Amino acid sequence: MRLGFSACGVSRCEPVEQKVADAFLSWVGEGRHGTMAYMAGNVEKRLNPSLLLPSARSVIVVAMNYYPEKRLRDDQVQFAYYAYGKDYHEVVRSRLLKLAASLSIYDIRHREGAACAGSSAYEGLVCCDTVPVLERYWAWKSGIGWIGKNSSLIIPHAGSFFFLGVLLTELEFTEYDVPMVSFCGNCENCLRSCPTGALSSAYHLDASRCLSYLTIENRGEIPPEYAEKMGNTVYGCDRCQLCCPHNRFATPTEEVAFAASDEFLSMTVEQWHSLTEEDYRRLFSGSAVKRAKYTGLRRNIDLLPEEQ
């Protein structure tokens, strides 16, 4: 069965390593998660997936490439690549459910799956951004890649434009993958490329200063000192990934759901300025951009520089 994953790894289900837990607790304690209150909630579960699925013995992690083949020209209004196509939550989740079914694992939220999978079915929990799990940590732990100084998961010879999905399960494997060492070396491109200082030091992302957070999750005004750094990008920010030398290996996704529509790719600056709520609903039907809501995207568009 072809499910469209570029990488897959497995690790034992156990509490996250103490140094990672301490770093996460400091990150939240210092308020670097901004107003994303959900990051500060369910901390115990986030740091110990067995509290999410008591029977869990293994963590299966998958990665799906979203690097777009057709991209907006530099002189157009920009969106982060991940927002080009359909909402990845649904795509990754449905593929993970298929992977689970192929391994006789059923999601405990769908008890009827147990009956379908038979008496030898294993309990599982599909996690794709909606369950408190440290996806990048588990991707690293499962040998898929390393966490770069820009905080992205980097897959060797493939780059960082990947969605991650996690499947917790009671299924045990005879062998597990081992974590990968970092290949960032002396490079600091991402630290230098970040326009807002959100990456003030390696591996420390201050979400409250990050344009991805400020233009998407943040519901209030974007502070002027950060708004002036947006340039012609109105949704998200890929700068600390685009400058990463490992992304020279990125190849376009074959997943049609992640491709941008012709209408989106042809939008002019003028059309963005005159975007109505109806246009927004049509352009972003089934898209992750719905997260910012029309008012959020409108706020960002209104911050575009006068001259482009």
Q: Which residues are catalytic?
A: 129
Q: State which residue, 53 or 237, has the beta carbon closest to ligand SF4.
A: 237
CB 257 within 8 A of CB 93: no
Check residue 148 for interaction with ligand SF4 (CB under 6 A): yes
Q: Should residue 222 be labelled a site residue for ligand SF4 when binding is judged by CB under 6 A?
A: no
User: Of 211, 230, 234, 297, which one interacts with ligand SF4 (CB under 6 A)?
Assistant: 211
Among 83, 153, 184, 234, binds ligand SF4 (CB under 6 A): 184
CA nearest neighbour of 9 among 182, 246, 167, 203: 167
User: Least CB distance from residue 12 to ligand SF4, whole Å?
Assistant: 27
Q: Interacting stretch for ligand SF4, rule CB under 6 A, among 96-104, 115-123, 207-215, 271-279?
A: 207-215
Among the listed residues 227, 243, 265, 303, the single contact to ligand SF4 using CB under 6 A: 243
* CA 285 centroid distance within chain: 19
In the block, residue with structure tokens 């990456």: 199
Select 169 or 212, whichever has its Cβ closest to ligand SF4.
212
The span from the CA of 237 to the CA of 197, in Å, is 13
162-169/233-235 β-pairing: unpaired
Find the binder of ligand SF4 among 114, 134, 187, 227 (CB under 6 A): 187
In contact, 163 and 64? CB cutoff 8 Å:
yes
- Distance CA(32)–CA(196), nearest Å, equals 14
The pairing of strands 122-127 and 105-107 is: parallel
Please report whether residue 210 would count as binding ligand SF4 according to CB under 6 A: yes
- Map residue 251 onto helix, strand or coil: coil
Q: Which is nearer to ligand SF4, 4 or 34 (CB)?
A: 34
Closer residue to ligand SF4, CB minimum distance, 177 or 188: 188
| Cβ closest to ligand SF4, residue 100 vs residue 180 | 180
Contact between 139 and ligand SF4 by CB under 6 A: the answer reads no
239 binds ligand SF4 (CB under 6 A): yes
Q: Helical H runs in the chain?
A: 18-29, 37-40, 43-47, 88-102, 112-117, 135-141, 189-193, 211-212, 224-227, 239-242, 262-265, 269-273, 277-283, 293-301
Under the rule (CB under 6 A), what is the footprint of ligand SF4? 148-150, 184, 187-190, 193-194, 196, 198-199, 205, 210-212, 237, 239-240, 243-246
